[in-house]
Amino acid sequence: MAGHSKWKQIKHYKAAADAKRGAIFTKLLREITVAAKAGGGDPDGNPRLRTAIENAKAQSCPKENIERAIKKGTGELEGVDYSEVLYEAYGPGGVALMIQALTDNPTRTVAEVRAKLSRGGGNLGSVNSVAFMFDRKGQIFIDAAGRTEDAVMEQVLDAGAEDFVAEDGQFTVTTAPSDLHAVKSALERAGLVASEASLAWIPKSTVKVEGANAQQLIKLLETIEDLDDVQKVDANFDMDESELAAG
């Protein structure tokens, strides 16, 4: 396992000791606000908003908070004007990072990201310095409990997905970016409800990290994702389970 899926697994391992639900809500609600501003407040006609709402509900985000975030996006309530920014960077061991953020102050955010990278053994890159190492894809995660791989694979392919992997108690479905919401809806009609769905940067190849570099990388990824403005980090690393446990 590598890159985005590996980092998702690391976060899952650490979730039991992580009391940051409020910060998670903040990121989810910010995405809802931006999605509503970009495509309107009706989730039936705004696939990005619908996915954002479903991701928030999967994390037990309160309904009233979701509704308030939508109204901020549509202008019914006063809200903050967020912009989407993407930072390209390198981490320990030469690992490439794609850092997605939603911010009301890009100058502040880039300074915070640069500081975390510098302290964590990484550095901020220029535009297109690492993006060529990744493909932009849709990713859908489905709980594998009670489902057979062959049956799910057939449903996934029928739904129009590009790829399907069964790992660590979950199914990871990959789609073309424009097909994410259509495939997700088709899977739901087939009874396969996603635990998470989003656009991600999928590495074309991976960099093996171990030892001190592996531990430093895990800490760096955590500190970057702890920043309020950072929504998501994708990376092109591979790491053994023993390194994961040590982290």
**pLDDT attached to residue 16:** 43
Same domain (yes/no): 197, 162: yes
Same domain (yes/no): 27, 90: no
Same domain (yes/no): 198, 141: yes
Q: What is the DSSP string of the chain?
A: -BHHHHHHHHHHHHHTT---HHHHHHHHHHHHHHHHHHH-S-GGG-HHHHHHHHHHHHTT--HHHHHHHHHHHHTSS-----EEEEEEEE-GGG-EEEEEEEES-HHHHHHHHHHHHHHTT-EE--TTSSGGGEEEEEEEEEE-TT--HHHHHHHHHHTT-SEEEEETTEEEEEE-GGGHHHHHHHHHHTT---SEEEEEEEESS-EE--HHHHHHHHHHHHHHHTSTTEEEEEE-EE--HHHHHH-
Same domain (yes/no): 89, 44: no
Q: What is the percent of the chain where pLDDT is above 90?
A: 71
Same domain (yes/no): 70, 8: yes
Ranges 44-53, 205-214, 215-224, 238-247: which has the least confidence: 238-247
Average pLDDT over residues 214-223: 92
pLDDT in tens, 33-63: 999 999 999 999 999 999 999 999 988 999 9
Average pLDDT over residues 191-196: 88
Q: Compute the mean pLDDT over every residue in the chain, rounded to the nearest whole number.
A: 89
Quote the number of domains for the chain. 3
Q: What CATH number corresponds to the domain at position 31? A: 1.10.10.200
Q: What CATH number corresponds to the domain at position 101? A: 3.30.70.980
Q: How far apart are CA 131 and CA 112, in angstroms?
A: 21
Give the structural domain span for 160.
134-203
Higher pLDDT, 76 or 169: 76
pLDDT band at 3; cut points 50, 70, 90: very low
Higher pLDDT, 169 or 211: 211
Predicted TM-score (pTM) of this structure: 0.87
Q: Which of 57, 74, 91 is the last residue of a domain?
A: 74
Average pLDDT over residues 9-28: 64
Same domain (yes/no): 163, 195: yes
Same domain (yes/no): 212, 107: yes
Q: Cα dihedral angle (230, 235, 240, 245), rounded to 10 degrees?
A: 0
Same domain (yes/no): 63, 174: no
pLDDT in tens, 113-139: 999 999 999 999 999 999 999 999 999
Cα→Cα distances 111→30, 106, 152, Å: 20, 8, 44
**pLDDT attached to residue 7:** 56
Same domain (yes/no): 47, 163: no
**pLDDT attached to residue 116:** 97
pLDDT in tens, 59-85: 899 999 999 999 999 999 998 899 999
**pLDDT attached to residue 79:** 86
Q: Which of 41, 56, 74 is the last residue of a domain?
A: 74
Q: Is the pLDDT of residue 101 over 90?
A: yes
**pLDDT attached to residue 13:** 45
pLDDT band at 10; cut points 50, 70, 90: low
Among candidates 231, 214, 1, which has minimal Cα distance to 95?
214
pLDDT band at 9; cut points 50, 70, 90: low
